[in-house]
Chain A
Amino acid sequence: MNVLILAELADGSIKKNTQEAIFYGAQVAAQAGGSATVLAIGEALEGELARAGNFGAAKVLYVKKGENSMAYARVVTEVVKSTGATVVVAAKSALADAVLARAAAALKAGFAGNVTALPDTSAGFTVTRSIFSGKAFAQTTITTPVRLLAIKKNVIEVVPTQETASVETLTVDTSAEDGTARVVSVEKASGAVSLPEADIVVSGGRGMKGPEHWQPLLDLADALGAATACSKPVSDLDWRPHHEHVGQTGVKVAPNLYIACGISGAIQHLAGVNSSKVIVVINKDPEAPFFKAADYGIVGDVFEVLPKLTAAVKAL
């Protein structure tokens, strides 16, 4: 079973979630006696792509171009046909969803999203998917010869090696797709830790009282090297930017550690964070529903607790 893994690059480097996808893909290939090939699209730093071998890929196919999802999907479709790959894996993201969706339609291939474990290939090809925003799982069998998977974060423990992959540059004609959209402007927070990729997330709710009171939370995030997030009312009120809002209608995160500060724990909020490994809740109300979903809890005022946590992290 030959596996193709779609790599996303950020600032020329292989993204963390992609590293996990490569490792996952290599395990699938090994399980069925095939090889794992990475398809990287974008601008990669010199020497970076060979590093895909650290995560188990034998080979990298490199297409140097932008991230228009229509063009990307065309490349994937062509490469699946030319390499005879029967499994395509990507780390779930808006880009991966768009690319896999179009490739699935072009290849008439079955798709499963939010995959949380290696496939069972003993009879057919069956994966476990997280559904209802983490509230349940579905065993899903893909019945087509080519299967496309978007995997969730933190589903497999990555054990890197020193191996390197061979890199081959490809050209695929995507002139028909390149012109479909023109980028007018991009607004992007610079230097911030990426929320979907972060291992630690510090998140604030309405209990933070207002945007001018965010500093203690930012200090803790900074000390931990964590990404920052917020509840929906906080972004609705414009206290924090929309792309920070987590939950049913926001970003879904699955970090190792999620620290909730002044968030009540509404079911729609939990839907975006319940796949976190460890949840810490800080709330002044001992009856806050979030404590039921927490691993560690502190009943107290966030403005007193946060500086203590930051000091303890700095003392490590």
Chain B
Amino acid sequence: MKILVCISSVPDTTARIAFEEGNTRLAKAGIQYIIGPYDDYALARAVELKETLGGTVTVLNVGQADAEPQIRKALAIGADDAVRIDAEPSDSYFVASEIAAYARDKGFDLILMGRETTDYNSGVVHGMVGEMLGIPSFSPVMELNLDGNKVLISKEIEGGKEKLETSLPVVLGCQEPIAEWKIPSMRGIMGARTKPLAVVAPSSEALTDISSYALPPAKGAVKMIPAEEAGSLIRLLQTEAKVL
């Protein structure tokens, strides 16, 4: 089993977001970066599959050098080798093209990703990579089991879930509870230092450009209603907020 796991490096989910240089850049100072929370589930399932079925797990990140601690963490969790495509990942099509270009002739059986990144929340890179490689793609996947060439997945749909059977090779966007996040062991961390991490130059172009960023307007003050008069809230929602 040859598995490719694509990980993004994103601000911690509690990070305070601010911009600098005339709102043209994220203010990175003080932000802790993490492996995308959904990508972390994909990685955990990949390592589990390798442990039960044998094979290799390669991690791939499209990002700059500051993503390397996250890549090393993925190696410490159990990936065998890593590749970093050296570029700012600002456009979904660009990221997908880079992943597809890398994966095209490597014979991966499974390409696992997260359901979406937590910075741009696009949820499209898996579908794009599937189309570029001419193989199926599914997301968001909550369960993944393999039986020879058969792939059994459970996918979240609106209001429930759907079980599907498809075949390898396939691209999946993963979410909980596909696996439990793994914490690297001391041995894993030591071993990760010497695992191969190749840095590759990008070969494609972006189809979108971000010109500026903005923060949402500040929320007005909260109006408190005494618990004894809770019922009066409903009238306010009707006449003042006009949402009923």
Judging by beta carbons under 8 Å apart, are B124 and A186 in contact?
Answer: no
A105 lies within 8 A of chain B by Cβ? yes
Known contacts: A181-B165, A194-B158, A268-B13. The answer to whether A311 contacts B231 by CB under 8 A is: yes
Residues of A within 8 Å of B, CB-based: how many?
93
Residues of B within 8 A of A184 (CB): 152, 163-165
CB within 8 Å of B: which A133-149 residues: 133-144
Shortest distance in angstroms between B243's beta carbon and chain A's nearest beta carbon?
4
**Which stretch (B50-58, B78-86, B132-140) binds chain A?**
B132-140
Q: Please, what's the 1-or-0 string for A189-204, where 1 marks a CB less than 8 Å from any CB in chain B?
A: 1001011100110000
Q: Which of A22-30, A47-55, A107-115, A158-166 contacts B (4 or more CB under 8 A)?
A: A107-115
Closest Cβ of chain B: how far from A175's Cβ, in Å? 15
Is there an interface contact between A105 and B131, defined as CB atoms closer than 8 Å?
yes
**Which residues of chain B are within 8 angstroms of A85 by Cβ–Cβ distance?**
none
| A105:B132 contact, CB within 8 angstroms | yes
CB <8 Å contact, A305 and B124: no
Cβ–Cβ contact B231 & A309, under 8 A: yes
Which B residues from 139 to 175 make CB contacts under 8 A with A? 139-140, 142, 152, 156-166, 175
State whether A113 touches B119 (Cβ < 8 A). no
The interface residues of chain A lying within 8 Å CB-to-CB of B159 are 188-189, 192, 194-195, 243
* Residue A106 at the chain B interface, CB threshold 8 Å: yes
- Which residues 189-244 of B have a CB within 8 angstroms of A? 207-216, 219-220, 222-227, 230-238, 241, 243-244
Q: Is the interface of A mostly helix, strand, loop or mixed?
A: mixed
Task: From A185, A189, A200, A268, give the contact of B162 (CB < 8 A).
Answer: A185
B: number of interface residues (CB 8 Å): 77
A144 touches B233 (CB 8 A): no
Are the CB atoms of A189 and B163 closer together than 8 Å? no
Contacts of B123 in A (CB 8 A): 94, 97, 101, 113
Question: Which parts of A243-300 form the interface with B (CB within 8 Å)?
Answer: 243, 248-249, 252, 256-257, 267-268, 271, 274, 277-278, 280-281, 291-300
For residue A104, CB closer than 8 A to chain B, the reply is: yes
Q: Which residues of B contact A110 (CB under 8 A)?
A: 91, 93, 207-208
Point out residues on A near B: beta carbons under 8 Å: 69-70, 73, 93-94, 97-106, 108-114, 126, 128-144, 180-189, 192, 194-196, 199-200, 224, 241-243, 248-249, 252, 256-257, 267-268, 271, 274, 277-278, 280-281, 291-301, 304-305, 308-309, 311-313, 315-316
User: A110-B91, A252-B121 are known contacts; what are 6 more A-B pairs with Cβ within 8 Å?
Assistant: A70-B136, A99-B127, A108-B93, A138-B120, A256-B243, A298-B225
- 20 A-B contacts, Cβ less than 8 Å apart? A98-B127, A100-B124, A102-B127, A111-B122, A112-B208, A113-B122, A130-B121, A132-B11, A132-B17, A140-B208, A140-B211, A142-B208, A143-B207, A181-B136, A181-B165, A188-B160, A242-B176, A242-B177, A281-B222, A298-B227
